[in-house]
Structure 1
Amino acid sequence: MNRPEREAAARRIMERTQPAVPPDLYADVVRRGGRMLRRRTVARRLMWLLLFAASVTFLVWALMAHPWVEPPSDTTPPLTNW
């Protein structure tokens, strides 16, 4: 199919009459769209809450465990009576 044939086919498709839309379709779309927005909002809030909880948990763990401090060495006995 060359370019003029494709253009002619596209024109034929676009010139067709559009199918009739069911009258109750708008109400269904609005209802589904509202439900999707509510679910997305709840999911977004839940993700922010989980991120906040993880941040607080990490902060508390870091303050209690002090992971930046090198642990004392247990391989050699301490020097006493030196």
Structure 2
Amino acid sequence: MTAENIVGLAEACTAPCAISRATASADAAWRQSLGSVTVADLAADVESAHGNGALAGIGAWLSPAGPSGGVGWTVDRRRG
């Protein structure tokens, strides 16, 4: 099959295929499920799973200085 044939087949599609429909359905379910989760829920789950102080450790890891106070940690501020 040539590239021209594939393009022609894609242009002939008038409705989503089974894979596209299944993917769209899964995406909608995923988004609906995540819609009920708050940041507070995530924080509580982290503390529950990893103990008190876990969020502080994560906060240090995410800080510009990094978990080691800047040793070996770089943040490219030019990227957005």
Structure 1 length-normalised TM: 0.30
Hey, which of these two has a bigger chunk of helix by percent?
A: 1
Q: Which has the larger radius of gyration?
A: 1
